[in-house]
Structure 1
Amino acid sequence: MAFVSLFALYQMIQIQKSYEDIVQNDMNTMIEAQELESNIIRELSYIQKLGLTKDERLIDQIEKLKTENHKKLNELVTKLRTEADQREFKKLQIIYTNYNEIEKLMIEAAQQDDIREFVSLMDKKMAETLADKMMNNVEIIKQGIFEQQQIDNDKVNHIRQLVLITTLITILLAVAIAIVFARMISTPVKLLDKHASLMADGDLTQQIPNIKNNDEIGHLVRTFEYLQEQLKQMVAKIQVHAEQVASTSVELAASTEQTTQSTEQISLTMQEMAANSDTQVVNVQETAEFIDQFQQGIVHITENANDASTGAAKTSTLANNGMNMLRETIKQMNGIGKTVDQSVNVVTRLNERSQKINEIVDLITNIADQTNLLALNAAIEAARAGEHGRGFAVVADEVRKLAEQSGNAAKNIAGMIIEIKEDTTKVVQSMTKGNDEVKEGILAVEKVNIAFEEILTSIQHVALTSDSTLNAAKAMEQYVTKVISAIEEMKKGIEGNASFTQTVAAASEEQNASMEEVRSSIESLSYMAEELRELINQFKIA
């Protein structure tokens, strides 16, 4: 059941992933179609600008867009999911190819300054047809993608319903099978549970129910039969051995009592003999322990003095390093102050140049206004000329647009220059404030440097004191070592005199303790034998 559910879940995830991939591909196709539409419109715009401005750089941009558009058209034809969309884009390819031929003639006319031929080619309306066809194809792609997504969404929902129904049916079948198997297993298990309860109460005379299953339940029943037979045999043997243990423990108890009394008498005599020697050993031991503690204290003092000396040396080194770092910091902060001063000068010069650029922008604005007036006058003259001045009117209109764009750009630049002047003024103020703070930081670091010098002097004094303490502690440690050696020799002599007496007394004590343990073990054994008999009597084996 779990496998089927997991498989169904996996299939649903794969379906969802495939659906998301399809949607993503459709969205990418639509985006590429919109990019193609934008490129074609840009190409048409560049052709018109070429006829007005004769700018040779536009030809390179047109050729670049033409190559890119042909590539995108070929890719889109292969990515479209319906044959109808593919046919429409193939028609668009034909129209675009025809337009490229006319476009080539228009470029040649523009290069030869043949305005009449250029305008004549533009009047063929091929550009408008191409743009309209491109926009229609983009709308067709959008509509096709939406409709295909609706179809795919319906298919996914249908598959989800089928998977859900299949999973529910599988779960119901699994539950039914589990109930049947549970009933087949529970009946013999209940019988075994009842018989096990009787065995736990001590009744080993009951017969196990006859269950002829050849599965694990049947094997369990036969194991219970073997267990019951083994328990009967074990209980019978334990009854015999318990009687034997009880009788033997009584005999051992009487013999142990006599041996214990003799051992106690010997132990008392030997303890009196060892009393005096023990007293002397204790006194010497206490003296040795006192001297040993004194030596440990001296060793501890030596270690502390050594650590203090080492720490003072390390601290002195760190203080020297800190002073060096402070000196480097002062140098760097002085360098930062100089850099900030230079930056203030640079920003001030930038502010002055921004003012000059603003004057140039005002001049460009005046030129653009005059150009706009000239273009307006040219348009009026072209209108008076009638049909012969039509091409000149187009040129005049483009000149007027360029003049307006130049004027707007000049206004934008003027606004940006004002913002730059305001920002540079703020930067100058911030840098001046930062320079003052750097100077204050230099003074603070110099104060810290003086404090470090005082700390270094104190640390050097501490190091000298630690060295003197360390030398005195080492001399005292050598003297105490000699005293300890003399006390150890005295202790060995006293211990040699008392060793024999202590050995005999210890042996007597050990024998007495052993006999006490034996007697205690015999009593425990007798008690356990009695408990074992009572426990065995609880079982019925016949």
Structure 2
Amino acid sequence: MNSIKNRITFSMLLLIVLLLFCSSTGSYLISKNILINQYSNKMSISSEKYSEIVNGWLDKETIKFKDIVDNMYDNNIIDDNNKLTGYFKQKLKANPNISDLYMGFTNKTHIDGSGWIPPADFDPTKRDWYKNALSKNGVVYVPYYDLVTKKMVVSISTTVSKDGVLLGVVSEDIKMDSITNVIEKAKPIENSYGYLIDDRNNVLVHPYKDLKPEKDKLKSLYDFKGGKYKTITEKNGQIINMDDYDGINKYFSASKINASNWTVGFAVPKSEFTKDLHSLIVLNLIILIICIAAAIIFSRYIAIIISRPIDNIRYVISQIGKLNFNYNTDKLDSVINNQDELADIACDIQSLSKTLTSVVQTIKNSSYDILEYSNSILHALNESSTSIEEVSKTAGEMASDSVLQTVEANKGNEKLNDLSAEINNITSNANKFKQHFSNVKSINDTGILKIKSLNLKLNDNNKTVFEATRSINDLAEKSKSIVKIVDEIKSVSDQTNLLALNAAIEAARAGEAGKGFSVVAGEVRLLSEETKQSVSNISKVVNEIREEIEMVLKNVECVSKTNTEVNESMKKSNESFDIMKKSMDEMILTIDALVEKINEVDADKNSVVKSIENISFISQKSSEGSQELAASVEEQNNSIENINVSMQKLNGISEKLDDIVSKFKLSDNNKHIAT
């Protein structure tokens, strides 16, 4: 049962659960944000820390390298290959962290402190360390994977000049074991790993095998996984969240190394950021369970306190609904003593109960007297009704025969009147039908005249089209003559051009004496060319006119064909209208004959109706006396019967009222005994 107690308990429990859920969710999100910020700061600090370590290591090695270069200048051996070779060997022995010390000259020669002899086609100017040093004109760092030691090495290089003239590039290879080991072992947060990327996005340190060097070639971070990791180097100092090579979602942080513009950073699984939140979740669940249990107990107690007065009021109302006014008043009194809204309801129920008790008691006392009076009146009415029924029976038999005769006569009169009305309707409809056919005949005659007029106009239109066709054909023939004339002009122009050319040749042969004639021949030839061009344009226009004439001729032929088809259709329509006219004339004659026959039937009907009316009048007079007598007796009998029925109903109502009142259970001080 969905009781108030259950609803109150459920509502309070739901409210508490929602509040606890919102509180727990808020604390979880705040704690999560705090932890992520703490770990993010820790990652950023670690990245900056190891960036400073690498930067310090490079600075220290760079200082040593610059000391070597400065000694080369101080000892004035920068252009003495033999002394340089000995000097390089000495430095290699003094510093085991240097794997090689060498120099490439602009003349493509190369000296090496390790004793390595380059092949004949070796060109140091093509090497990365040489080209980078020239491009930056300072100290550069070029890392690579040494196939001999199987370890990472970085080349520190710089240019060497004398008297402002570039001699070459000196470079030393430094083992990176100390740095790579530090980064590989660095784990600022559990399950994290470090990585090192050079300024060309080549991977120097990374735990994933597919990013390890392939022979002496370093792997580019931009070529791995479609370049998804390039944001690591682009967004320096920011925390980036993405899925790593192993499919685990991780946070990445990175910092730039000032000396070399390399990037050092760390990757930490996202789960490490949130694992400390598990204990918070468990604690929140325990608190939630405890609060739910306390809420159930507390809400149940409150629900009982609230629902007890309602249960008492419900008990009283149910007793009143059962017509029992002798209920336990203590329950209602306990609710009234609370002096709240429910107490007001209890007071109203108590007042209603007293009022109903008084009313029921009064009805019960009166119902007994009504029942006795109605029984005596009913007995007297039964005796009167028996006598009146015998008189009514005799009068009814006398009047029934007269009434029957009158009814039959009236029915015959009504049938004839109905027949007369139908005949009149038929006559009216026939006249209307005739009028409609006359209108249709008139419209049909008008249509025939219109079709004949239209047929005459189409014939005139055909004549006009024929004349236009003949004119267009004449125009086409004349255009052909124009073409012939144009062709003749073109032929004359060609001959004139040829004669002008021959005249020019003869004038040239004549020499100085033929110069004037040569000018005239040139002008004639120019005029001939212009005439030829004009004739060509005229020919083009004439051809376009001929095409337009042919198009118009085709359209005129189509119009002529259409007019011919319309004439045929008009002839057939005229024939159809003639057939309709003949059929309408025949239909009008038939309708006239039908109206005449209907009028004859209507005349005979009037005499029959008059005879039936006389018979009905006589029958009606003869039955009036017996009907008046029967009606009077019947009216008196009906009145007695109505009174008898009413008294029987009153008696039944009194009995039912007594039964209903007897169901009320009144208190002892309200009971009344009728005498």
The normalised TM-score by structure 1 is 0.45
Higher relative contact order (CA 8 A, sep 6+): 1
Q: Which has the larger radius of gyration?
A: 2
Bigger proportion of residues as strand: 2
Which structure shows the bigger proportion of residues in helix conformation? 1
